Amino acid sequence: MKIIKRSGSEMLFDAEKITAAVRKANASVIDYEKLTEKQIKEIVANVENACEYMKHSPSVEEIQDMVENQLMNQHAFTVARNYITYRYKRALVRKSNSTDEQILSLLECNNEEVKQENSNKNPTVNSVQRDYMAGEVSKDITKRFLLPDDIVEAHEKGLIHFHDADYFAQHMHNCCLVNLEDMLQNGTVISETMIDSPKSFSTACNIATQAIAQIASSQYGGQSISLSHLAPFVQVSRMKFRRQVRKEFEKIGLDLDEEKINEVAEMRVRKEISSGVQMIQYQVITLMTTNGQAPFVTVFMYLDEVPAGQTRDDLATIIEEMLNQRILGVKNEQGVYITPAFPKLIYVLEEDNIHEDSKYWELTKLAAKCSAKRLVPDYISEKKMLELKKDKNGEGHCYTCMGCRSFLTPYVDPETNKPKYYGRFNQGVVTINLVDAACSSEGDMDKFWEIMDERLELCYRALMCRHKRLLGTPSDVAPILWQNGALGRLEKGEPIDKLLFGGYSTISLGYAGLCECTRYMTGQSHTDPDKGTPFALEVMKKLNDACAKWKAKENIDFSIYGTPLESTTYKFAKCLQKRFGLIKGVTDRNYITNSYHVHVTEEINAFDKLKFEAQFQSLSPGGAISYVEVPNMQNNIEAVLSVMKYIYDNIMYAELNTKSDFCMECGYDGEIKIVEEEGSGKLVWECPKCGNRDQDKMSVARRTCGYIGTQFWNQGRTQEIKERVLHL
């Protein structure tokens, strides 16, 4: 059995340390108040049994809480008081310099919690360590100086989650929709260097990747670009090649046959598209931003975003090349093609590509093949999005999310009276733990709604802390964002304040554990149509009503966001178990369910799941994504296409989860399994062919929160992955 030290490092459970601590407290009291040796052994045994019963490795703090409870049970009140006093004094000493142990454990690469905090970061790399060290300092400053005590306490208890506290000390926002069109058409500045509008498609791709890296280093969340902004530069290259070929024909004395000239030029165009797409893919994968990972970037593929004709056909060619290259994958160190995590791809299903007789149906078939092999693209239904995303003029719009799922609210520029999405951003996220609100109510419905009001007020004040942290931020902190086109064209020294109000940007109220919350309050899954679903929808209405009230008060677009819990799912689960013990079907796992999702263990077919979750997705305007878990579908593309067609008619944004693994020890390319480690009970990954358990010698790709992870996960998320049932 292992425990988690305060520094985050992992070590074997040692009962002697508990014995020594109790004996030390025992020695500090007069004889008639002392515990007997038998009582001390009983206390230690009870604590050890309790630790073994827990569903996760206990922390030192949790063990000390158990010791206190056991001392009280023995009526050794003076011993308990002295034990608590000593513990308090040590806490004060640690608090005076609270980051040292954390940072040292990072440098020694033995902080187990941080190792698996982000499935796309390698904590042994210097740049990642530097980012994590800066994050520890930022979190310490945030907790001690920047946030109110009750918000910090609520965060640490797991009542709410104040996301990305490791970046809060800086004036940084969450995620964005890059206005690549503005940057490419009107020029930009990167690292104090003027970049003119590109004169070829390949140059446009190069500029795009440089911009992606700069943007990723200026914010802490995901970003999205659209291939439609690159498509016009195919024609620029086409005209350039035609001029070149004409000159070459003249030079060698060939007839100036326009058809032949255009044919040769078109061959060069296709080659340049291939090179440009390859540049985007390899640059994104190999770039390392200042936070020590590849840029979290999503590439949007929407045919109807450009006019019909040559430009749309060029966009289709770019999309085709993007899909073909992703199907191939990228080579790892051993030269084996594997599935990369980024860029994430989103493909829009629309009338021009969803039917067998549609003009771009072959492109959709290629997307299906890519999903079956490499887990992407994910799918947006133009049909459903136009229904759900209507602006104040009543017009529907289809656009991409920012990163994995955060969606902007519909917005009409007051100056032009035209819709605007690119160049906008999200200010930040705070998540409410719905499971804790339910358990705290002890099943009393009136009390539950009272607690919800209290917790939502906490979330509101926490979100306003995020907003106020951005107020007054000068555009100079990130010129590429605020001055050079990515998000705006503000003057030097001009504050970004006007972009924080009136709906230009959003700020997100996240939520977690709707499934477990409903199960606790009604005794049923939220898929139960009689009790569960009506209650779950009432909770969603409560969240939306709160955001509407805050929006009216502050003139800020508060929006409900289906939180993608990666590390937070484990944190919330541990906090719930500490506060409420193990409650069957509610707190008895090391994870809680993302947002509104059907529980991963619940048997339900793919189509019913998508249909059911669609009603909750429409109530999460700030962002949400649904998925279906499928087996290897590479030999059943027709089934993939059937799911895609169903998505088009029934849900706005969804994906298919499959597996894409490789063992470097034996060359196995099937599904690498999760098994329990003997003795410790820890979940580890194991090759079913050769038994390899070395994570450095295997490639495992799983979608965990709307994006693909490749660096492995914490124990909570690993358990969740292990317990997923197939929906198809």
Q: Which residues are catalytic?
A: 174-175, 402, 404, 406, 426, 561, 566, 706
Chain centroid to CA 648: 24
| 378-381 and 344-349 strand pairing | parallel
Give the rounded distance of the alpha carbon of 520 from its chain centre. Answer: 27
Q: What are the φ and ψ backbone dihedral angles of 323, each rounded to 5 degrees?
A: -70, -45
Tokens representing 325?
């290259």
Q: Cα–Cα distance between 545 and 564 in angstroms, integer?
A: 22
Closest CA to 286 of 342, 203, 205: 342
Residue 518 near residue 524, CB atoms below 8 Å = yes
Neighbours of 479 (CB within 10 A): 20
Q: Are 314 and 235 in contact (CB under 8 A)?
A: yes
Cα–Cα dist 354/381, whole Å = 10
Evaluate whether 269 touches 278 at the Cβ level (below 8 Å): no
Indicate the burial class of 279 (C-beta count within 10 angstroms; 0-12, 13-18, 19 or more). Answer: middle
Report the candidate in 396, 390, 415, 378 with the shortest Cα–Cα distance to residue 626.
378
Residue 725 tokens read as 């049932």
Structure tokens at 268: 């060069």
Please say whether the beta carbons of 426 and 176 come within 8 A: yes
SS3 560: strand
Query: Which residue type occupies 97?
Result: N
Non-local CB neighbours of 356 within 8 Å, separated by 6+ positions: none
Distances (CA, A) of 289 to 277, 286, 292: 20, 10, 6
The sign of the dihedral angle between the CA atoms of 692, 693, 698, 702 is positive
Count Cβ atoms within 10 A of the Cβ of residue 433 and give its class: 0-12 exposed, 13-18 middle, 19 or more buried.
buried
What is the spatial distance between Cα 98 and Cα 501, in angstroms, rounded to a whole number? 36
Q: Which of 698, 541, 169, 676 is nearest to 549 (CA)?
A: 541
CA distance 197 to 193: 13
Per-state percent for the chain, helix, strand, coil, to nearest 5:
50, 15, 35
Computed over its alpha carbons, how large is the radius of gyration of the chain? Answer: 27
CA dist 264 and 277 (Å) reads 20
